[in-house]
Structure 1
Amino acid sequence: MKLKKTQLVNIAIILLLTLYFFTPIGFKAKVYLNRLISHNPVPVEERAQQILEDYDFKLVNSNGSSVNLSEHKGDVIFINFWATWCPPCVAEMPDLQLLYDAYGEKVTFLFIARDKKEKVSNFMMKKKYNLPVYFESGFTPKTLYSAALPTTFVIDKKGNIVVAETGSAAWNSQSVRSLLDGLLK
């Protein structure tokens, strides 16, 4: 039985789609694609900014130490919700590490993983990231809740949510650094 040209093309397409959606090669391709299409996050217009009023957000790090967002009220806060199984999340991690390296002493960074602790620990060690990772141990304040990953918020000292970004973004850009510098003044 000889296959027709269209049948061969269909088989090839099915194989490529299978590779893309169901293999580690596909995951890496999705990460790479997300890095290519990452954009600069855009600040929320001042008149549309929400205010974080509920700072009661309990978190725990991988060592079991607790922290509450309320301890950082009055700080510039950078919150990133992510997971190891999320290609856009993994795609923005190198930029987030660079931003953390530059601002980790000045800005409160909370990288909140919606994933299993063991997977997160293995991922962080494998990639040699030293980001401060936390896990939710209480309810997420309504203003910060999003089912989409990654979701990132930048909160100014007064509690205004000045950036609310969903999806992969170029976090180590000059525009983000300028924004943080302005918020820190």
Structure 2
Amino acid sequence: MKKPSLSTIFFSIFIILMIVPQTRMPIQEGISKIRVALFSPSALDEDQQTQLEPFTYRLIALDGTPADVEIGKGKVTFISYWATWCPPCRAELPSIQELYTDYGQMVDFVLITNENPDVIRKFLNKKQFTLPVVLPQMETPAALLERTIPTNYVIDKTGKVVIKEQGATDWSSDKIRETLNLLIGA
């Protein structure tokens, strides 16, 4: 009988670790962090930017208070659809937190999830995130509806989708900051 090669042994161990739930999440999150380190979103080409009709996104904060956000009514908006159980979402949240820390007063940040508020609060506390996480109180607008998380949008003051990005990415990059500075007029 042939002795297995070292690469076969490592591959087998990797497969086993991906099957076990306790090790799968950290491995997937680590792989997603590599993507975050390598990719930063760019503004869409002008012909790919979608113009939304101004609307009020009906939302509720984790404490149960209304947290409605006006989209396309004079303020730049960052929308993120995410979940605590999603490894790519977890991988990009530190960069979103950095961006929120620096731009939270100038940009409406809206991190939308459908999870249990207790689960979300526990996750945010553990990671020491201060992000404005909200729960939707209406159907997702058709122009923002995607089946993939994370899906993130940067929407300008008039409601134009300037950036749309699916998958983990670096939201605290110089490229994103330059785009936000242009959009807010800084």
TM (norm. structure 2) is: 0.90
**1-structure distance, mates of 2:46, 2:13:** 48
1:58-77 matches, within 5 Å, as 58-70=58-70, 73-77=73-77
SS of alignment partner, residue 70 of structure 2? helix
Deviates more, 1:36-45 or 1:85-94: 36-45
- Specify the alignment match of 2:31 in structure 1: 33
SS of residue in 1 equivalent to 2:80:
strand
The alignment's TM-score, normalised by the length of structure 1, stands at 0.90
Q: CA deviation at 1:30?
A: 1.2
* 1:41-96 Cα shifts (integer Å, max 9, x gaps): 02111111101115242111110011223377221000011001100000001101
5+ unaligned residues in a row in structure 2: which ranges? none
Give how far 1:8 is off: 10
Corresponding residue SS for 1:165: strand
The alpha-carbon distance between structure 1 residues 25 and 47, as it changes in their structure 2 partners (threshold 3 A), is same
Sequence identity (%): 33
1:1-185 to structure 2, matched below 5 A, reads: 5-6=3-4, 13-38=11-36, 39-53=39-53, 55-70=55-70, 73-185=73-185
Question: Residue deviations 1:107-154, cap 9 Å, x none?
Answer: 000011232222111100000100000011211111111110000000
Aligned residue identity for 1:162: V
Cα distance in 2 for residues equivalent to 1:15 and 1:128: 32
Cα RMSD over matched residues?
2.1
Instruction: Count matched residues.
Output: 183
